[in-house]
């Protein structure tokens, strides 16, 4: 009998109490002298059932959650002992390897998060056992141009929010005659409620590294940086460990895998500013300056880090690369729509039954994601809207749930694909409150450089506050609309340019709530509740 027990130990599992479960599991297995390997893995994504335990015996896996320390003993009895009287079906998640009995997992198509929850992020052997670094070997046998072409053909678009085609970006920097070139991974993940990048790194760090090394080869970069969010200590330590392993393995450093390619990586930890996710601000921050955006052009590909050509990609973008190279661009393109290939991970939160990290093909209708995978709203409430793209995004009302997940289709609704934050709002939520919540975030995080964002968002917030307190003035709605234009069109960087989106979309779809607020104020306490849900 070969038995593996996997326990999710990502930041979200730990928040759910996975450490106590691990200690209970470890001592029970030792005590009973069971022939079981305990593997600490990243997160499977099922946040609503964490801590999650996967018992795999002779290739047959059974998934449980939430597994509290008290549930460890009956669980072991069930599989290795006297029988299973103590195991409740409430904490059984799935008995099938393909998870088809649990739609939250069974309906997903996992590419970048495929190994999250399966392998030990500290084990290079685990990664190698799942085709790890095979894509790199394959890429090194191709020419850099061929790699760029594959990425072009894959129709991969940047997952950091704006959706710029990655192959085109790579081509731009590849053609620059200036050296050295820098490759930067944007792991700042600042949207409140978003945790896709964290989960990817904590579950499968080598996938990101492999993607970066292939990218470096393709664009001709000799040095790379991973700009990691300060609040991600676990992800950073896992990355550090993985970088050292990759160096020992020969995949980083000089003469990578005997190919003659030289490339090495440094981690730079941020200091907790949302605006440092903006690419120019991010580069200034790496340079040791204050993280403040500057005008583009020059674009990073022309003059980036320390004035040299630089390429910035999001974690998920780079984590897709190895799959594209290994399985072929056509396979990747085929997953998505005509104009956009692959899958996208979302952090599904808010008033949803099954929250967590979900990865679906581009082109999936929102309805499928919210209802089939997420199970609809919790506690019998009705869906009101879905907020996508965090503070830079907008809300999509319930009647537009047939919209497919695609950069252009989502933009047409006024929302954006964004980096993957998806907050489900039920019929108890005041939309004015919702707009206020996100705007107060951007208002706070404005870098202060330009006046539409620095002062304009403040004035918008003042108006929303007044409306919510029932002290709205007749001019307020007009002023709010005017400010949306000036802030959105007039701001220097993406933070300010997108800050009005939550207000614009709620004004578009829920104007009646603004009017009601103007007349009598809105129900007061939803604000705090929403904040709690978003950051949960």
Ligand X SMILES: Cc1cc2nc3c(=O)[nH]c(=O)nc-3n(C[C@H](O)[C@H](O)[C@H](O)COP(=O)(O)O)c2cc1C
| Residue 496 touching ligand SF4 (CB under 6 A) | yes
The tokens of 47 are what?
């946040």
Q: Which of 152, 191, 155, 192 is nearest to 168 (CA)?
A: 152
- Chain residues 123-162 in contact with ligand X, contact rule CB under 6 A: 158-162
Q: Using the minimum distance from each CB to ligand SF4, give the nearer residue, 296 or 473.
A: 296
Identify any residues that bridge with 349 across adjacent strands, giving them in sequence order.
423
Give exposure, 398-424, as e/b (b: 16+ Cβ within 10 Å). bebbebbbbbebbeebbbbbbbbbbbb
Q: Contact, 527 vs 185, CB < 8 A?
A: no
Task: Determine which residue in the list 46, 52, 450, 522 makes contact with ligand SF4, applying CB under 6 A.
Answer: 450
- Chain residues 276-295 in contact with another protein, contact rule CB under 8 A: 290, 292, 294-295
Q: Contact, 386 vs 422, CB < 8 A?
A: yes
Residue 273 binds which entry of ligand X, ligand SF4, another protein, none, CB below 5-8 Å type-dependent: another protein
Q: Contact, 449 vs 292, CB < 8 A?
A: yes
Terminal-residue alpha carbon distance, the chain: 40
**Closest chain position to ligand SF4 (CB):** 496
| Residue 491 touching ligand X (CB under 6 A) | no
- Least distance between ligand X and beta carbon 186 (Å): 4
- Chain residues 408-437 in contact with ligand X, contact rule CB under 6 A: 419
Tokens 């809300």 — which residue? 395
305: DSSP letter: G
Cβ-based neighbours of 255, under 8 Å, separated by 6 or more: 261, 262
- Least distance between ligand X and beta carbon 277 (Å): 2
Using the contact rule CB under 6 A, the part of the chain among 39-47, 145-153, 272-280, 484-492 near ligand X is 272-280
Q: Using the minimum distance from each CB to ligand SF4, give the nearer residue, 28 or 492.
A: 492
- Least distance between ligand X and beta carbon 356 (Å): 20
Tokens 């941020």 — which residue? 270
- Least distance between another protein and beta carbon 337 (Å): 22
Task: Determine which residue in the list 67, 194, 492, 526 makes contact with ligand SF4, applying CB under 6 A.
Answer: 492
How many Å apart are CA 536 and CA 531, to the nearest integer? 8
| Residue 278 touching ligand X (CB under 6 A) | yes
Q: Give the count of residues interacting with ligand X (CB under 6 A).
A: 24
What distances in angstroms separate CA 512 from CA 451, 516, 519, one per listed residue? 30, 6, 10
| Residue 293 touching ligand SF4 (CB under 6 A) | yes
Residue 294 binds which entry of another protein, ligand X, ligand SF4, none, CB below 5-8 Å type-dependent: another protein
Residue 482 binds which entry of ligand SF4, another protein, ligand X, none, CB below 5-8 Å type-dependent: another protein
Cβ-based neighbours of 190, under 8 Å, separated by 6 or more: 229, 273, 274, 276, 277, 445
Residue 279 binds which entry of ligand SF4, ligand X, another protein, none, CB below 5-8 Å type-dependent: ligand X
Sheet holding 394-397, edge to edge: 356-361, 343-350, 421-426, 383-388, 394-397
Residue 160 binds which entry of ligand X, ligand SF4, another protein, none, CB below 5-8 Å type-dependent: ligand X
Q: Contact, 420 vs 372, CB < 8 A?
A: no
- Least distance between ligand X and beta carbon 373 (Å): 23
How many Å apart are CA 165 and CA 118, to the nearest integer? 30
Identify any residues that bridge with 312 across adjacent strands, giving them in sequence order.
184
Q: Contact, 458 vs 500, CB < 8 A?
A: no
Residue 168 binds which entry of ligand SF4, ligand X, another protein, none, CB below 5-8 Å type-dependent: none
How many Å apart are CA 208 and CA 144, to the nearest integer? 19
Q: Using the minimum distance from each CB to ligand X, give the nearer residue, 54 or 189.
A: 189
Task: Determine which residue in the list 448, 470, 481, 536 makes contact with another protein, applying CB under 8 A.
Answer: 448
- Least distance between ligand SF4 and beta carbon 281 (Å): 8
- Least distance between ligand X and beta carbon 391 (Å): 9
Going 247 to 253 to 255 to 260, the CA torsion angle's sign is positive
Tokens 């599992």 — which residue? 13
Indicate the burial class of 234 (C-beta count within 10 angstroms; 0-12, 13-18, 19 or more). middle
| Residue 448 touching ligand SF4 (CB under 6 A) | yes
Site of interaction with ligand SF4 (CB under 6 A)? 275, 293, 446-450, 453-454, 491-493, 495-496
Site of interaction with ligand X (CB under 6 A)? 158-162, 164, 166, 186, 188-190, 274-275, 277-279, 312-314, 317, 419, 493-495
Site of interaction with another protein (CB under 8 A)? 273, 290, 292, 294-295, 297, 443-452, 454-456, 458-459, 462, 475, 479, 482-483, 485-486, 489-492, 497
């Amino acid at each position: 009998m070969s038995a593996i027990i996997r326990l999710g130990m990502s930041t979200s599992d730990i928040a759910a109490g996975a450490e106590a479960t691990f200690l209970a599991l470890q001592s029970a297995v030792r005590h009973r002298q069971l022939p079981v390997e305990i593997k600490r893995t990243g997160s499977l994504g099922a946040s609503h059932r964490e801590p999650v335990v996967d018992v795999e015996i002779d290739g047959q896996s059974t998934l449980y959650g939430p597994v509290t320390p008290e549930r460890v003993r009956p669980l072991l009895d069930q599989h290795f002992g006297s029988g299973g009287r103590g195991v409740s079906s409430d904490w059984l998640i799935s008995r099938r390897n393909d998870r088809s009995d649990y739609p939250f997992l069974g309906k997903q198509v996992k590419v970048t998060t495929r190994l999250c929850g399966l392998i030990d992020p500290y084990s290079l052997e685990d990664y190698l056992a799942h085709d790890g670094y095979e894509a790199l070997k394959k890429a090194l046998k191709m020419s850099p141009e061929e790699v760029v072409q594959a990425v072009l053909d894959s129709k991969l678009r940047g997952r950091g929010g704006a959706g710029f085609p990655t192959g085109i970006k790579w081509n731009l920097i590849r053609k620059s005659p200036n050296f050295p070139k820098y490759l930067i991974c944007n792991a700042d993940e600042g949207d409140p409620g978003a945790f896709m990048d964290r989960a990817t790194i904590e579950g499968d760090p080598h996938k990101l590294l492999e993607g970066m090394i292939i990218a470096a080869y393709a664009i001709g970069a000799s040095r790379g940086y991973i700009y990691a969010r300060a609040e991600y200590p676990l992800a950073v330590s896992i990355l550090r460990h993985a970088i050292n392993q990759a160096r020992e393995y020969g995949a980083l450093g000089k003469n990578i895998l005997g190919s003659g390619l030289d490339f090495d990586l440094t981690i730079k930890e941020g200091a907790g500013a949302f605006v440092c996710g903006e690419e120019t601000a991010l580069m200034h921050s790496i340079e040791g300056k204050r993280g403040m955006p500057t005008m583009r052009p020059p674009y990073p590909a022309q003059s980036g880090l320390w004035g040299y050509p630089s390429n910035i990609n999001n974690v998920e973008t780079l984590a897709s690369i190895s799959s594209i190279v290994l399985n072929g661009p056509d396979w990747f393109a085929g997953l998505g729509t005509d104009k956009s290939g692959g899958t996208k991970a979302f952090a599904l939160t808010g008033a949803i039954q099954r929250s967590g990290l979900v990865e679906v093909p581009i082109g999936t209708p929102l309805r499928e994601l919210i209802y089939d995978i997420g199970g609809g709203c919790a506690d019998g409430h009705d869906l009101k809207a879905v907020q996508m793209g965090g503070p830079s995004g907008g809300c999509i009302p319930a009647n537009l749930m047939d919209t497919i997940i695609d950069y252009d289709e989502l933009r047409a609704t006024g929302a954006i694909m964004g980096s993957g934050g998806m907050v489900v709002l039920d019929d108890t939520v005041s939309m004015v409150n919702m707009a206020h919540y996100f705007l107060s975030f951007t208002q706070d995080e404005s870098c202060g450089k330009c006046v539409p964002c620095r002062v304009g968002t403040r004035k918008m917030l003042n108006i929303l506050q007044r409306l919510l307190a029932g002290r709205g003035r007749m001019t307020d709605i007009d002023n709010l609309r005017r400010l949306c234009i000036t802030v959105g069109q007039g701001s220097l960087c993406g933070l300010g340019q997108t800050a009005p989106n939550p207000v614009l979309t709620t004004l578009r779809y829920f104007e009646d709530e603004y009017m009601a607020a103007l007349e009598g104020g809105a129900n007061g306490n939803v604000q705090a509740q929403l904040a709690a849900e978003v950051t949960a």
